[in-house]
């Protein structure tokens, strides 16, 4: 039972992080001042912290030596790539074209991670 609660929390944080990133990406594209709001800058870090925490708890609880599972290692690498692309999209991209490309790249990586999580396969079929 506790494992299912952790999984449901993890899925909820996956959805929250995607929505949060997508909304902030739209605001970046639209030039909205909402991006400078303190809450908007802080809350995504909490969401991502709990997302990563629940993911690690599940990996250790369900798989033990999770580092021996290629799909989990690739999923973790995907999360790191998602974070880097998100940073380029929202902060570090020098041009709007670069930022937009990073947004789309982030979305592609995000959906690949979700598909991998559902299939437990490095190359989803």
Question: Does any domain span residue 48?
Answer: yes
Q: What are phi and psi of 8, to 5 degrees?
A: -65, -40
> Does pLDDT of 12 surpass 60?
yes
Would you place residue 1 in the very low, low, confident or very high pLDDT band (cuts 50, 70, 90)? low
Question: Does any domain span residue 76?
Answer: yes
pTM: 0.89
Number of domains, the chain: 1
Q: What burial letters (b/e) apply to 43-67, b meaning 16+ CB within 10 Å? A: ebeebbebbbebbebbbeeeeeebe
> Does pLDDT of 36 surpass 80?
yes
Question: Does any domain span residue 124?
Answer: no
DSSP secondary structure code for residue 65 in this structure:
S
Question: Does any domain span residue 125?
Answer: no
Mean model confidence pLDDT for the chain = 92
Helix, strand, or coil (residue 120): coil
Question: Does any domain span residue 31?
Answer: yes
* Domain interval for residue 44: 2-119
Would you place residue 81 in the very low, low, confident or very high pLDDT band (cuts 50, 70, 90)? very high
Would you place residue 65 in the very low, low, confident or very high pLDDT band (cuts 50, 70, 90)? confident
Question: Does any domain span residue 91?
Answer: yes
Q: Supply the pLDDT for residue 2.
A: 80
Q: What is the pLDDT of residues 99-114, one digit of tens each?
A: 999 999 999 999 999 9
Question: Does any domain span residue 34?
Answer: yes
Mean pLDDT of 60-86: 88
């Amino acid at each position: 039972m506790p494992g299912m609660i952790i999984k449901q929390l993890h899925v909820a944080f996956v959805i929250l992080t995607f929505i949060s990133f997508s909304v902030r990406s739209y605001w970046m594209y639209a030039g909205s001042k909402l991006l400078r709001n303190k809450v908007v800058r802080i809350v995504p870090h909490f969401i991502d912290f709990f997302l990563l925490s629940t993911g690690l708890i599940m990996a250790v609880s369900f798989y033990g030596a999770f580092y021996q599972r290629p799909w989990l290692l690739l999923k973790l690498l995907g999360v790191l790539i998602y974070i880097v692309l998100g940073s380029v999209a929202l902060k570090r991209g020098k041009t709007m074209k670069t930022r937009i490309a990073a947004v789309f790249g982030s979305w592609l990586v995000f959906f690949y991670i979700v598909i991998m999580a559902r299939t437990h396969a490095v190359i989803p079929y």
